Amino acid sequence: MTEQEVLLRVDHLVKYFPIMKGGLFPRQVGAVRAVDGVSFDIRRGDTLGLVGESGCGKSTTGRNILQLQVPTSGHVYFEGVDLVALKPEPMRKMRRRMQMIFQDPYASLNPRMTIGEIIAEPLIIHGIIPKKEVDGEVERLLSIVGLNPAYANRYPHEFSGGQRQRVGVARALALKPSLIVCDEPISALDVSIQAQVVNLLEDLQQKFNLTYLFIAHDLSMVRHISTRVAVMYLGMLMELATRDELYSNPLHPYTQALLSAVPIPDPMVEEKRQRKILVGDVPSPANPPSGCRFRTRCPLAIGICAEQVPEFREVRPGHFVACHLVK
């Protein structure tokens, strides 16, 4: 893969949140290892699906990529530029090229602003078009995401969840970004609306040559939209492969367990299928297990799994896995 093809490269990204104890002079007594050495890249125009259970560090990864949170260590290269090393003003200019669609459309829109003002805000802050053209651009963006331009003077509480998320998509598109981080954009929506929003995102990707990092729980929806899929557990990547390769030939026991929980619409196949049920709860990221993070819940764990962190390595062309048992 050439540098021209890669839009985003994440290199050993780490984010620890300190655990403080004490009153007037608090001291650090530990750290929550939210993201612990994550590496991947996304080609221009592709969609990387990032999946895993709640609390595994997916959203923190997305926020660290956009520098909404400062990484503890590691590098994030966007169009060849290391975002971690940028000063605030160059980072502000670079942020035009990358945007985020947030998980909760009820919390991510300011209730005191009309949706026209919400969409216009990034255009005004960055000053990329003359002020007299802002209203026309807002109407164009509303049309692009399937909303009536006449709704620009309405407030967020007048819209349904799906419509609000479309407003969030329009706001993300306003600055004509190359990369959009979609932080579980459909998890708060009704099932009937989820497919509409995903189809909208796919159409926009084709129209504007967008690149997505699509963070989600729903493996069936990730399969629909993603080019490649990365599986995350307790702050670390367990597996990364193309969509078809991952779903047809999952190698990591965690990926296999996740996929076995996805219902198959064929009753005959579903009846014969053997489920892999995970036992126990996800360990605390403040005190993760030694060796392989997944070993405490893995049915195949052996001695080396407790002693040594498995290397995240390429076992087949384009198929990476972190497991001692995969040859």
What's the pLDDT score for residue 144? 96
Under the banding of pLDDT at 50, 70 and 90, the label for residue 279 is: confident
Nearest CA-CA partner of 60 in 187, 211, 186, 184: 184
Asked whether residue 232 is assigned to any structural domain, the reply reads yes
Asked whether residue 270 is assigned to any structural domain, the reply reads yes
Tokens 């997305």: give the residue: 62
What's the pLDDT score for residue 181? 96
Q: What is the pLDDT of residues 173-196, one digit of tens each?
A: 999 999 999 999 988 888 888 889
Q: Which residues, other chains included, contact 90 with Cβ-Cβ below 8 Å and sequence gap of 6+?
A: none
Q: What is the mean pLDDT of residues 45-59?
A: 93
Give residue 242's domain range: 6-21+29-321
Q: What is the pLDDT of residues 218-237, one digit of tens each?
A: 788 898 899 999 999 999 99
Mean pLDDT of the chain, nearest integer: 91
Nearest CA-CA partner of 221 in 254, 195, 258: 195
Under the banding of pLDDT at 50, 70 and 90, the label for residue 199 is: very high
Rounded to the nearest angstrom, the gap between the alpha carbon of residue 108 and the centroid of all alpha carbons in its chain is 16
Beta-bridge partner residues of 50: 215, 230
Asked whether residue 327 is assigned to any structural domain, the reply reads no
- Residue 197 has φ and ψ, to the nearest 5°, of -65, -40
Instruction: At 222, list the tokens.
Output: 């990730």
pLDDT above 70 (res 152): yes
Q: What is the pLDDT of residues 255-274, one digit of tens each?
A: 999 888 777 776 776 666 67
pLDDT above 90 (res 18): yes
3-state DSSP call for residue 294?
coil
Nearest CA-CA partner of 184 in 159, 213, 156, 207: 213
Asked whether residue 326 is assigned to any structural domain, the reply reads no
| Alpha-carbon gap, residue 302 to 196, rounded angstroms | 45
Asked whether residue 1 is assigned to any structural domain, the reply reads no
In order of 142, 150, 208, the CA distances from 129 in angstroms are 17, 21, 18
Q: Specify the number of domains making up the chain.
A: 1
CB distance 237 to 230 below 8 Å: yes
SS3 annotation, 224-286: HHCCEEEEEECCEEEEEEEHHHHHHCCCCHHHHHHHHCCCCCCHHHHHHCCCCCCCCCCCCCC
Query: CATH no. for residue 272?
Result: 3.40.50.300
Helix 115-126 to helix 134-144 angle, to the nearest 10 degrees? 120
